[in-house]
A and B are shown apart, each in its own frame.
Chain A
């Protein structure tokens, strides 16, 4: 077996593509499995049509080595079929389904080979499932896993839901009230973002990036900017780094507070539900004070930020934050102190640590299972290098743990905001971004509020984007939700679902 000697790169770095060796598929497979065995995790895996006339597909796998603060890059070539890695490395399962759907190649031996987003293959005339190429596949049209037997029934939920949420289809196999299996079928909001980016960046790209998942505007926008900056060798001014971190933490606060409120609403606990709904608005308004948009649209721009923050405004924001902080902590206290709430959350939707690691979960869901995953901690950029030291994990892996991770992250983020706000550097807020390096690969890992947002860019000889891969944290974590529902009561599904609170459009891209 080939020894592990891959090309390494740090978060927000670019390397020349020629430095990355193309391995034999067997070596690629062995190396990847070895990496994962050594506590590595697959941050991104994607295909690229090989350059020239060749019909072959290049596969890239980026394995995050959290303890070494770097990412290992592996590269190989495959033809129309390749042996699936999923049986020995479950976290590859969605990546392989994605590759199969995008390029029409078949990962042989994949135990769960079904379409992900229901679109035609990017290469004409091929389809991994032999679906007709001249018509668009219909979302949700696939073979669902079925359980049969006396007293077993199937419950289909969605894609149209009762609340104001995104579309997604859930198929439960139930025995009475007990869920034996949940299968989740998404893709209803597939917009083809990755495909739109080919030969980019285009003038609209920045705006598109901010809408990959509307609630993670800053997270995705930041990841994209870091990729561009890495590829162009642009040095972001210190003040811009601070403002970016400020916005990222405000986004986390708004969403975490909103989530805790929504969790309270799901169990009918009205006080926290009502307070958090209002407090979420207060945090959003802080973001609006920064840039005029409650969701931070237009704030993060390649090379820096679009809006300056003067010390007067910063002081004002911190003063407002102080008031909101007290209310937030009060709203969370009554939530975590109410016995009726605790009894509802404890032990629901439990995930074991090993399942979380096998599936490669990230963010809140992983931290709740005692799996330390936080790219602010392991792959820090900007101000996080010297300001962030509080990695939060919980042990129990249930809905309670996910709620607690959120509430503890809220206090950490407020403290971070205060540190950033009081030590705001002087200077410019934006640096010019030059042309992108040709034939290079860059990666950015940003800890969005849901978890790790990964963007990877590959440039061609002309310095345009040859491939752009986006991995939203929801991509990994939806499988976690499906596993968490096993042997749960079907009436607890909304609660478990909310405790993960995953993005549909972030998955659908």
Chain B
């Protein structure tokens, strides 16, 4: 019970800090002060206190999108170990459940976008779904590598203690997996170079355009959900890079949290030094990542 409590506390409490760290890093590169670290907390708090505007053309699907967007990351997080805090929910084959939970959220976000009838949102939905299709196999190949290494089909074991020995036996493979999962983190969380979370240009947006019509608490749920999604997917990368555990829960949790913040800094650096890819190039890069994950599997099986 304490484990579940700690797990949720980390997820719910720490996740909005990540966008703040990314923002600060970008501001640092630009020579600006930037918004405070806690800006996302303020934003979410503010949005939950606001009213809603809902288009007359929409149905219940439009309201369901943000709810799913908030609930799914929480559910998915339960299957991922944070530091030495093991996953509260774990069963054989939960990796498939994990991936398709996000698929479910995406289905509802895209449906909610199309529910508005706006041509922009339709375009955004089409793009998001296309790119997700290409990112999904990468995730699976990476998971297969980890499953093979740990000899288990549950995320808790795959991202658990087995990683320590895995780095010694299959380092090159794991490096490729880290690279692949990092790309997945970027594309799934609509970061540069795949999407620009700060742009105001609706024609170039992917994810942002789908949530243009949401306001108030709905938008708050979307923002909170997005921060948690970044946290959950980021946790996979952080677990891979910092697999060690000392047995001291406090120390391990601090290490894990530090790893998450470091990940946010890295994302901020990538965003500060790269331009966005052309939309046509995104699938090419994703297919490249897919091949990379395939190679890591071959490396492991050879």
Which A residues are within 8 Å of any B CB, using their own CB? 153-157, 162-163, 177, 264, 266-271, 273-275, 278, 338, 340-341, 343-344, 348, 489-495
Measured between alpha carbons, how far is A264 from B198 in the docked complex, in Å? Answer: 13
Instruction: Give chain A's interface secondary structure class.
Output: helix
Measured between alpha carbons, how far is A338 from B203 in the docked complex, in Å? Answer: 24
Contacts of B277 in A (CB 8 A): 340, 343-344
Measured between alpha carbons, how far is A492 from B26 in the docked complex, in Å? Answer: 24
List 17 A-B residue pairs with CB atoms under 8 Å apart, sorted by A's residue number: A155-B119, A155-B203, A157-B202, A266-B201, A268-B193, A268-B196, A268-B198, A268-B199, A268-B274, A270-B271, A271-B273, A275-B30, A278-B31, A343-B281, A489-B280, A491-B279, A495-B204
Contacts of B30 in A (CB 8 A): 270-271, 273-275
Measured between alpha carbons, how far is A454 from B115 in the docked complex, in Å? Answer: 49
Contacts of B281 in A (CB 8 A): 343
Q: A162-B202, A491-B203 are in contact. Are A274 and B275 (CB under 8 A)?
A: no
Residue of B nearest to A156 (CB): B119
Measured between alpha carbons, how far is A58 from B279 in the docked complex, in Å? Answer: 51
Contacts of A275 in B (CB 8 A): 30-31
Residue contact B271 to A268, C-beta cutoff 8 Å = yes
Max count, chain B CB within 10 A of own CB: residue among A267, A268, A340, A341: A268
Measured between alpha carbons, how far is A348 from B277 in the docked complex, in Å? Answer: 13
Residue contact A340 to B119, C-beta cutoff 8 Å = no
Q: A270-B30, A274-B31, A489-B280 are in contact. Are A494 and B203 (CB under 8 A)?
A: yes
Residue of A nearest to B202 (CB): A162
Residue contact B202 to A270, C-beta cutoff 8 Å = no
- 1/0 contact string of B194-218 vs chain A (CB within 8 Å): 0010111111100000000000000
Measured between alpha carbons, how far is A488 from B272 in the docked complex, in Å? Answer: 27
- Kindly state whether residue B56 has any CB partner on chain A within 8 Å: no
With beta carbons under 8 angstroms apart, the residue of B120, B200, B271 that contacts A155 is B120
Residue contact A157 to B203, C-beta cutoff 8 Å = yes
Residue contact B275 to A338, C-beta cutoff 8 Å = yes
- Kindly state whether residue B178 has any CB partner on chain A within 8 Å: no
Residue contact A494 to B204, C-beta cutoff 8 Å = yes
Q: Shortest distance in angstroms between A272's beta carbon and chain B's nearest beta carbon? A: 9
What are the 3 tightest A-B residue pairs by CB atom distance, in nearest-first order?
Answer: A274-B30, A268-B276, A269-B275
Chain B 11-46 residues near chain A, CB threshold 8 A: 26, 29-32
Measured between alpha carbons, how far is A156 from B203 in the docked complex, in Å? Answer: 10
Contacts of B196 in A (CB 8 A): 268
Measured between alpha carbons, how far is A399 from B278 in the docked complex, in Å? Answer: 13
Residue of A nearest to B31 (CB): A274
Q: Shortest distance in angstroms between B204's beta carbon and chain A's nearest beta carbon? A: 5
Q: Shortest distance in angstroms between A160's beta carbon and chain B's nearest beta carbon? A: 11
- 1/0 contact string of B154-190 vs chain A (CB within 8 Å): 0000000000000000000000000000000000000
Measured between alpha carbons, how far is A267 from B53 in the docked complex, in Å? Answer: 31
Q: A153-B119, A270-B271 are in contact. Are A163 and B276 (CB under 8 A)?
A: no
Contacts of A348 in B (CB 8 A): 278
Q: A157-B203, A162-B202, A340-B274 are in contact. Are A270 and B29 (CB under 8 A)?
A: yes
Contacts of A269 in B (CB 8 A): 274-276
Residue contact B201 to A340, C-beta cutoff 8 Å = no
Contacts of B280 in A (CB 8 A): 177, 489
- Kindly state whether residue B123 has any CB partner on chain A within 8 Å: yes
Q: Shortest distance in angstroms between B117's beta carbon and chain A's nearest beta carbon? A: 12
Which B residues are within 8 Å of any A CB, using their own CB? 26, 29-32, 119-120, 123, 192-193, 196, 198-204, 271-281
Contacts of B29 in A (CB 8 A): 270-271, 274
Residue of B nearest to A163 (CB): B200
Residue contact A490 to B201, C-beta cutoff 8 Å = no
Q: A155-B120, A177-B279 are in contact. Are A163 and B271 (CB under 8 A)?
A: no
Measured between alpha carbons, how far is A184 from B253 in the docked complex, in Å? Answer: 56
Residue of B nearest to A273 (CB): B30
Q: A157-B202, A162-B200, A274-B31 are in contact. Are A344 and B275 (CB under 8 A)?
A: yes
Contacts of B272 in A (CB 8 A): 270-271
Measured between alpha carbons, how far is A156 from B202 in the docked complex, in Å? Answer: 11
Measured between alpha carbons, how far is A153 from B123 in the docked complex, in Å? Answer: 10
Contacts of B202 in A (CB 8 A): 157, 162
A-B contacts besides A163-B201, A493-B204, A494-B201, 14 pairs, CB < 8 Å: A155-B119, A177-B279, A268-B275, A268-B276, A269-B274, A270-B26, A271-B273, A275-B30, A343-B277, A344-B278, A491-B203, A493-B203, A494-B203, A494-B204
Measured between alpha carbons, how far is A163 from B32 in the docked complex, in Å? Answer: 21
Measured between alpha carbons, how far is A340 from B271 in the docked complex, in Å? Answer: 11
Q: Shortest distance in angstroms between B113's beta carbon and chain A's nearest beta carbon? A: 15
Residue of B nearest to A277 (CB): B30
Residue of A nearest to B276 (CB): A268
Residue contact B203 to A267, C-beta cutoff 8 Å = no
Measured between alpha carbons, how far is A275 from B193 in the docked complex, in Å? Answer: 20
Measured between alpha carbons, how far is A157 from B281 in the docked complex, in Å? Answer: 24
Contacts of A266 in B (CB 8 A): 199, 201, 204
Residue contact A490 to B203, C-beta cutoff 8 Å = yes
Measured between alpha carbons, how far is A273 from B203 in the docked complex, in Å? Answer: 20
Measured between alpha carbons, how far is A267 from B194 in the docked complex, in Å? Answer: 11
Contacts of B200 in A (CB 8 A): 162-163
Measured between alpha carbons, how far is A90 from B64 in the docked complex, in Å? Answer: 52
Q: Shortest distance in angstroms between B94's beta carbon and chain A's nearest beta carbon? A: 35
Residue contact B32 to A340, C-beta cutoff 8 Å = no
Measured between alpha carbons, how far is A457 from B110 in the docked complex, in Å? Answer: 57
Residue of B nearest to A495 (CB): B204
Residue contact B120 to A267, C-beta cutoff 8 Å = no
Q: Shortest distance in angstroms between A480's beta carbon and chain B's nearest beta carbon? A: 19
Measured between alpha carbons, how far is A274 from B29 in the docked complex, in Å? Answer: 9
Residue contact A489 to B278, C-beta cutoff 8 Å = yes
Measured between alpha carbons, how far is A269 from B272 in the docked complex, in Å? Answer: 7
Q: Shortest distance in angstroms between B88's beta carbon and chain A's nearest beta carbon? A: 37
Measured between alpha carbons, how far is A338 from B123 in the docked complex, in Å? Answer: 29
Residue of A nearest to B32 (CB): A274
Measured between alpha carbons, how far is A267 from B281 in the docked complex, in Å? Answer: 13
Contacts of A163 in B (CB 8 A): 200-201
Residue contact B123 to A490, C-beta cutoff 8 Å = yes
Measured between alpha carbons, how far is A274 from B30 in the docked complex, in Å? Answer: 6
Q: Shortest distance in angstroms between A177's beta carbon and chain B's nearest beta carbon? A: 7
With beta carbons under 8 angstroms apart, the residue of A155, A264, A273, A492 that contacts B278 is A492
Measured between alpha carbons, how far is A270 from B277 in the docked complex, in Å? Answer: 14
Contacts of A490 in B (CB 8 A): 123, 203
Measured between alpha carbons, how far is A489 from B278 in the docked complex, in Å? Answer: 9
Contacts of A489 in B (CB 8 A): 278-280
Measured between alpha carbons, how far is A344 from B278 in the docked complex, in Å? Answer: 6
Q: Shortest distance in angstroms between B213's beta carbon and chain A's nearest beta carbon? A: 13
Q: Shortest distance in angstroms between A175's beta carbon and chain B's nearest beta carbon? A: 12
Contacts of B120 in A (CB 8 A): 155
Contacts of B271 in A (CB 8 A): 268, 270
Measured between alpha carbons, how far is A270 from B120 in the docked complex, in Å? Answer: 25
Residue of A nearest to B122 (CB): A153
Q: Shortest distance in angstroms between A494's beta carbon and chain B's nearest beta carbon? A: 4
Measured between alpha carbons, how far is A163 from B196 in the docked complex, in Å? Answer: 15
Measured between alpha carbons, how far is A493 from B30 in the docked complex, in Å? Answer: 26
Measured between alpha carbons, how far is A15 from B280 in the docked complex, in Å? Answer: 56
Contacts of B274 in A (CB 8 A): 268-269, 338, 340
Residue contact A268 to B192, C-beta cutoff 8 Å = yes
